[in-house]
Chain A
């Protein structure tokens, strides 16, 4: 079926519009509101909406700007026949269908024939009519909708075609569907949608029952096991109690015997204590006697020893006394020799000191004389330099430098005066009869006056003249300069205390001479050490006076002093030698004296010590004799004491014998062993007692466990519980197999249905894929599922895109409308065979979301569709975008 041309009249904004369609590609452009969508709608209404009617669709066609009834004339080719279709829409609408070679049909007949030609249900109206061929009419704003519902609406035609195209592909029968549904229902009884066992299914209930049975069996087994264990425990506890009873009896007997032995040991121990006391008393008595004897024997032994010591000591006393006297005499002789030597030395020292004093006196006198002479020279030089100093002080203070200054100022002054004079007026009074005053100062005749400034000349009283020297300002400057020079000169003269340059020169020469002489005097004084001379002189005087005094003091005892210093030195030398000899004698005699004194002292000390020792021994001897007498008086004489000692020794021997005997008995009784035995037996009895208590407790507990109230038989309960577990296990096994059967059947049906559907829909999917490859490149595929007699699950599969298949709803807006267009074209291509090999596909601004690149690819896809026989009618407000389609262009408005 192919549209050839259309004329729309009084149809909303169309007054009358005629369009001629290209057999393959028609591009209808026009601005917004130009009527493109209205034209697409008018074409659809003409084909599918009954002309007569007053539905919303009918009323919507009416134009508000153009009078008349909405009318569409359509020319189309179908099955090789050209048809002219004319419809006037409205309550009195009519239809005329005129084939190229046949009679025109009108009214219902025309509608019926038209529906037959288009392969749709006749007489449709309302939504059904509006929805016809929705897969071929892509309305503005609906291009991105999932196209599979449109495929479902055409499923009969599509399935018919697909079955033809699919070759061996077979469709499931009604029985297949019912059986598959029954299988699915059975599966859903047992399993959830995720494949898990349903909570309330028979299998789940059976599994829960098995769990409960297992739990009950565990409880029953625990109870039965507890009883078995209790039997064991009871028996074992009984056996243990029997054994413990025997052991306790045996141990008790052992303990009784040990207790008896222990009592015997205690008795013997008491006896031992008594015997120990007796033995201790006997030993103490014996000890007293033995101590007395020992004490007396000791005293006697000491007396004998002292007596033997005293005889030689008395003899030694005389020898020591004689030695001590000899030593004392030797010491006294040595003292005397020492004292003589000391006296000789003292005398030699006086001689020596006197000679030394004499020499000292001579030496200090010589020094004093020398210093006195030098003091006279100093006084002379000091007087001269004093005179020179006074002369220098009386001269004006001008020296060579001052003279140079004065010379310079003098020159300067003369130069300034000469310059002034050169500019001043000279006035000389040659003769006058009266007083002449110049500047108020009288001028005598013959006197000249240099006038360096304006001056008044008064000649007597009658004449007064004013003289103005020349030179102007320079004269004043010269005059000022001359005054300053003169003043500086005067100041310098005053400073140096001279009156002229010549005087200054004379004085300067005089000062130089005086100064030279003064310096010579100062040098002489320095060489004479004038500054230290008074002190040295005083010191020499004092030393000489002292030497004199010492000499006088020493001379009083000896002869007169020698006159010459040399003599004095000789005397001193002799005095020194004598003194050395005397002092040597003193040292020697002193050594002898000290040795003799030490010997005498030691002899005295030895004697004294000997006497002390001797005295001590006599004292001790006396004391020992007294002690011996006291002991004998107290304890009797030797025979009496010997008898008492013998008796005490007998007593002690008897007591010790008894004690040893009782101790032997005790040793034989093994008291420590018995004590350990008692402890061990008591420990064992305690332990066995604890064990018996434990066994009795265990037996009592076991007996309690075994005591039945007869309400149930644990063995039977366990047997029943085990049987219920077996039944529940068998039931679960059976139901699992049943569920497995259901799952297997369901999976087999699902897989086969999917495989069949895939084979069935493959021609359509292949066709869609061909168009998609124009858009998205080679390898792009589409998948669509035929499920429950409906097409669904449209997916786009693009190679190289992560994630694999993308469902239609997940695509972007642009891709969605392009994919939908591919599906529509594929459906049209599949269905076209039933319509003479072609069908129109109308796109009304269907690619609003596609970018320029994708639009180019779209045109390739649309061109492919046209080349496969489809009639592409594209309405757009931007026809330039489709310039590459190679379509016949029509512009509305």
Chain B
């Protein structure tokens, strides 16, 4: 008998988002990771899911705080259906893990009696399905966590008509295991799906890769329901959960449900002349709109601008930084005086001192290296003083 459930993973609750300097914005982004849980609960309700599977990394850390745990348990409790999860590499079930902490157990018992963490590799029989959890008990396992499914496992005693669902967390054939560029790299946990006995399992719910992706006909990465990093490549499609209908011996039916609210975007822009600055402004408005508190942007700037345009760009960036939840800026723009600006500094017959100094600085600024950068800054400052006078 087919069973319908939700497959999700990589909630990474409690993620610090340390790259966001503003504490309030940081709190907003963190809060969105909890808010999406209610959207998952609604999806479960609406789609008739009998349970929800979380394929690892429910928490961002094996030492999550009480506040995070309490908020997570509260949200889990609101889901109304059983929630079953395995520990991933971020919240692995090793010694001292969050799953062992007393305050987690207390909060879970009080707020989320529908939640169950599966810490042991062994079949878990549900009403309409049998789960085969492959928990990670350390951050980086040296052996394939699904090994127990193929090495002499005798599952003949299990109900023959229930869908058999594997829960695993790790990378498949070098795919997966993506890390945020602001977090420390973690060891990979390799899963070799090809070695699983053919036909033994009806659906493999994978976690770790934050994009939504099918691996063959029976295995899926659900991705994270709320993106937590700037996208890498076109194939990355975060912000979804999967509604799966699986039955013993049949192909699973998988539906993607969008759950994301925050928009993590990136723009690369090269200035060819001062007049290209307004074009960037238009692109930003077009891409981000005027709504504050929803977008995060990685902006990579290059090219060259005059001093006045450079000052204008800085003012514009200050505005966008205030407006966006996060502006991650890589500014490789060279701000050097335009020929007119340079003339305005060096061709001053009435101000010989300024003229001489500007000429001297312009010579250094035309070079390369840190001295040239400092000289360009000095020219910019001098220009500002002269203009302001």
Interface residues of A (CB under 8 A from B): 170-173, 175-180, 182-183, 186, 227, 230-231, 234-235, 238, 702-703, 705-717, 719-724, 727, 737-738, 740-742, 744-745, 748-749, 752-753, 756
Contact = CB atoms under 8 A, between A and B. Distances in A.
Interface stretch (B38-46, B195-203, B262-270, B356-364): B356-364
B64 A713 contact: yes
Contacts of B380: 741
B288 to A, nearest CB: 23
Which are the 7 A-B pairs with shortest beta-carbon distances?
A: A706-B96, A710-B66, A723-B18, A176-B353, A234-B95, A716-B16, A741-B377
29 contacts: A170-B352, A173-B352, A175-B350, A175-B351, A179-B354, A179-B386, A186-B381, A227-B63, A227-B96, A231-B94, A702-B95, A706-B95, A708-B63, A709-B66, A710-B66, A715-B60, A716-B60, A720-B16, A722-B18, A738-B377, A740-B377, A744-B374, A745-B378, A745-B382, A748-B378, A752-B356, A752-B357, A756-B353, A756-B356
Contacts of B352: 170-173, 176, 756
Contacts of B95: 230-231, 234-235, 238, 702-703, 706
B60 A748 contact: no
B73 interface: no
Contact of A715 (B61, B353, B386): B61
A710 B69 contact: yes
Contact of A749 (B182, B353, B373, B389): B353
Contact of B96 (A230, A711, A722, A749): A230
A179 B389 contact: yes
Contact of B382 (A179, A709, A719): A179
Contact of A173 (B14, B16, B60, B350): B350
A475 B281 CA distance: 186
B101 interface: yes
A720 B353 contact: no
A744 B375 contact: yes
A301 B88 CA distance: 109
A737 B373 contact: yes
B103 interface: yes
B234 interface: no
A183 B385 contact: yes
A222 to B, nearest CB: 14
B120 to A, nearest CB: 16
Nearest to A722: B18
Nearest to B350: A173
Contacts of B100: 706
A705 B100 CA distance: 13
A235 B94 contact: yes
B286 to A, nearest CB: 29
B230 to A, nearest CB: 15
Given A727-B21, A748-B378, A715 B63 contact: yes
B377 A713 contact: no
B334 to A, nearest CB: 14
A741 B94 contact: no
A744 B63 contact: no
A729 to B, nearest CB: 13
B19 interface: yes
B68 interface: yes
A569 B138 CA distance: 154
Given A180-B353, A713-B16, A748 B360 contact: yes
A738 B314 CA distance: 15
Centre residue among B63, B98, B138, B381 by max chain A CB count within 10 A: B63
B220 to A, nearest CB: 28
A712 B65 contact: yes
Contact of B101 (A180, A708, A721): A708
A710 B103 contact: yes
A712 B16 CA distance: 11
B154 interface: no
B361 A720 contact: no
B183 interface: yes
B166 to A, nearest CB: 26
A741 B63 contact: no
Nearest to B26: A720
Interface in B85-117: 94-96, 98, 100-101, 103
B187 to A, nearest CB: 12
Contacts of B183: 719
A439 B209 CA distance: 197
Nearest to B61: A715
Interface string B57-87: 0001111111111000000000000000000
Contacts of A741: 374, 377-378, 380-381
A171 B183 CA distance: 59
Given A177-B353, A713-B60, 15 more contacts: A179-B385, A182-B385, A231-B138, A707-B96, A710-B67, A712-B65, A713-B16, A713-B63, A717-B16, A719-B183, A722-B18, A723-B182, A741-B381, A745-B378, A752-B356
B351 A707 contact: no
Residue in B15, B21, B350, B385 with the greatest tally of chain A CB atoms within 10 Å: B385
Given A710-B101, A714-B63, A719 B381 contact: no
Nearest to A223: B63
Contacts of B354: 175-176, 179
Contacts of A722: 18
Contacts of B182: 719, 723
A233 to B, nearest CB: 9
Contacts of A238: 95
Contacts of B94: 231, 234-235
Given A741-B377, A748-B357, A748-B361, A711 B66 contact: yes
A737 B370 CA distance: 9
A740 B356 CA distance: 19
Nearest to A717: B16
Nearest to A715: B61
B351 A179 contact: yes
A465 to B, nearest CB: 173
A350 to B, nearest CB: 145
Q: Specify which of B67, B69, B354, B357 lies most central, judged by the most chain A CB atoms within 10 Å of its CB.
A: B357
A748 B138 CA distance: 60
Contacts of A740: 374, 377
A705 B69 contact: no
Contacts of A720: 16, 18
Interface in B204-244: none
A519 B378 CA distance: 160
Contacts of B16: 713, 715-717, 719-720, 723
A745 to B, nearest CB: 5
A800 B96 CA distance: 81
A713 B353 contact: no
Contact of A235 (B60, B138, B351): B138
B351 A713 contact: no
Nearest to B64: A713
Interface string B305-328: 000000000000000000000000
A849 B157 CA distance: 124
